[in-house]
Each structure stands twice: as C-alpha cells, then as structure tokens.
Structure 1
C-alpha cells in the first residue's frame, strides 16, 4: 500500500515538474543568464565600482586642472569640500527643491534659493493655487550631472552645473466639477548655478540661476 502511494506521489511530482518546465523553461533569447556564484556577483559589483571610481577620478582631475585656484580656495574655506561631495549635494538639492515646489514648502525653498529665484518659484506656486491645481512628482531621476564652471568673485563662489534629468509628474485640477489628472514625462536639460558667500555662516549653497540651453 505504501509503495503504491509513493509511486502515485512520484508520478504527481514528475507531472508538476514537466508542467512547470513547459511554462518556465522556455527562453526567448532576451533573458539575462542567472548567476548563482556569489563570489562572481561580488567581483562584478567590485569591477563596476572601480570603473565608476575611475570615471569620477578622471572628471575630478580635469576640473582640478581647469579650476585649480578656485578649488583650493573652496577647500580652504571648507575642509570637507570635494567635487564629488558637492555633486552629490547638488543631486539632493535638486530633488528637495522640486519636492518643496510641489508641496508648496516656501520655508525650504527660501533656504535653498536666492531671493530672485525664490520669487519666481513663489509666483509659480501662486498661479498654480489660483488655478486650483496640485503638482506631484512621481519620479525624479538625475541621469547626468556635470560641473561646467567655477568662479569666485568678491567672496561669492559660483558653480554652474549641467543637469540632465528624467521627471514624471501628475498635475491634478478640477474641470467641470471633476478631478482630472494629467501625467507627464519630461526629459530635461538645464544649467543650475549655485552661489555661496564664503564669508557667511550659512553653510548652504543656494540656486541663483536656472537656464535651459537652446
């Protein structure tokens, strides 16, 4: 009796295996090979990090050669300043500013923008509120970031950064007593200029200009 049960179970297992293989075993040629070796995965990740570090090192060296005097002045003012550290800060500031703009957080915008840019953002928020619109960022992805210029004039440090991003937004508004959501995906390239008063106790770099190249 036990043998019969075992045989039945074995047949059932074989049947299930064949069924699964017929569904999951087919390959279209698009699948990536599965790597089971943990050491190979670790080595792949390490190689990727090394390549990224090399690229960052080359870009940093180019900037140091081009803006040696300015970078030395920035390091003298702030011992923690590095090109990579600043670039990461730009990415975070970009995200914070867009989120603050969407959430109408004027206090945060005021801490990250110079007065003229703050007024532009504030005006845009007022226009949006008058139209009873709301803005939501679904995705903010910085694709590429490149420092284009560094200058220091009368204790004001200024760094121009080219920012290439992919943003997904939803704009909601009431049309004919119904809420309408408009989805938008934008591939954006802008030049953001960050200023900092080297004599000020305020540690923040503030956005002083935003331009879109033709």
Structure 2
C-alpha cells in the first residue's frame, strides 16, 4: 500500500549523484515518470513565460516546443517539479537498495544495472548512509522528439552528504557533516501518445 501511495503521489506531482561514494551506475540508457496537466505553451501567459525562463535554457526552447506540439498536456513547471521529486526518490531507493521502487522509476535494463551495483555493494559489506541536503537548481538544458520518442535533459545541482560504512559500522569514507556539491545531467524519456504517461530516467552524466 505504501508503494502504491508513493507511485500515485509521484504520478500526481510529475508534469509531463550521488555524493562522493557509490555513484549511480551509468548504463547506456536509463529512464522518470511525468503526468499530464492542463495544456501550456512557452508563449502563453506572463506567468508561464516566467516559468519557462527559469526552467529552460535558451538552447532547449525549440525542443520543448516540439514536445508541446506533440503533447499539449506537457507543462514545464510541473515537469521540473516531477524531475526533482524523481531525483530524490531514485537516489533514496538506490542508496537503500530498494529495487522494487527503482523498478517503476527506471526501465528493466537500468534496474538490472542498479541491482548489480547494489549486489556488489552488499558483497563488499558496505552500507551507504547518504542524505540529499538540497536541490539548488534544476533546469532543462536540451529536449528532442524523434517520432513518438521524447527526451528531456535536466541539469540538476544538489548538495549531498554521504558516507560509506563497513559491516561493523566503521566509517570507510565520506562525511555527514560536509555536503558535496554535485552537478549532473539526468535525461528523462517517454513514448508520446502512449497509454503510459510516465517518464523514466534514461541516462545520467556528470555536468
């Protein structure tokens, strides 16, 4: 029931690295969930234009327009809120080794990569004690539509406190008192005009 509640909450929120220890695995393609909302365009109201200016870099505008043209329910502000929510949930699930939650946030191939990284961590007897302190910035840096496949790249700047401990609880590395500033590009993808409204994490790269 808790998993179902979280899934519903993420679905409603989404609009259509970790720290210095145990970085996310970087498979060829990972994919977050984003749900529809009332139609908005970049050229809409003053409020909408302000949201666009804050959340879209100039080089990404044409790609975002293409996504809006293909899916009129897409909303920039809601998408960014959803991307940040997904960022928190994916990192938390990875740190805790929660493969069930990762299963509906990423594709099967990506989930397998996470499972392998989590299993390797367990085999080494390591436990992560990480905390996302804050997300300082999230902005769309690029977007594209090819056929029905849409991809949106989001620059996420965050502060993360991270430690790795051994099976006895001894500190292996990291610190919970010194947050590490991280900059990553997370790519989200989904098939437009599909019965599944969810976007999934498709790729992560250092910015």
Normalising to structure 1: TM-score of the pair?
0.64
Query: Structure 2: how far apart are the matches of 1:202 and 1:53?
Result: 26
Q: Unaligned 5+ residue runs, structure 2?
A: 1-46
Provide the aligned length of Structure 1 versus Structure 2: 155
2:166 to 169, 173, 176: 173
Q: Deviations over 1:10-58 (max 9, x none)?
A: xxxxxxxxxxxxxxxxxxxxxxxxxxxxxxxxxxxxxxxxxx9985353
Query: Structure 1: how far apart are the matches of 2:108 and 2:166?
Result: 29
CA RMSD after TM alignment: 2.5
Query: Structure 2: how far apart are the matches of 1:74 and 1:63?
Result: 20
Q: Which has the higher contact order (CA 8 A, sep 6+)?
A: 2
2:54 to 50, 59, 62: 59
Q: Residues 66 and 144 of structure 2 are in contact (CA less than 8 Å); yes or no, is this contact kept in structure 1?
A: no
Q: Residues 138 and 170 of structure 1 are in contact (CA less than 8 Å); yes or no, is this contact kept in structure 2?
A: no
Query: Structure 1: how far apart are the matches of 2:200 and 2:61?
Result: 25
Q: Does 1:204 align with 2:198?
A: yes
1:105–1:208 CA distance, 2 compared to 1 (3 A): same
Query: Structure 1: how far apart are the matches of 2:165 and 2:198?
Result: 33
1:202–1:70 CA distance, 2 compared to 1 (3 A): closer
Q: Which one has the bigger helix percentage?
A: 1
Shift of 1:65: 5.0
- Secondary structure of 1:129's aligned partner: helix
Normalising to structure 2: TM-score of the pair?
0.66
Shift of 1:130: 0.3
1:60–1:187 CA distance, 2 compared to 1 (3 A): closer
Q: Deviations over 1:158-198 (max 9, x none)?
A: 10111111111232213xxx421343332111111101112
Between structure 1 and structure 2, the one with the greater Rg is 1
Query: Structure 2: how far apart are the matches of 1:206 and 1:124?
Result: 19
- Secondary structure of 1:179's aligned partner: coil
Query: Structure 2: how far apart are the matches of 1:57 and 1:136?
Result: 36
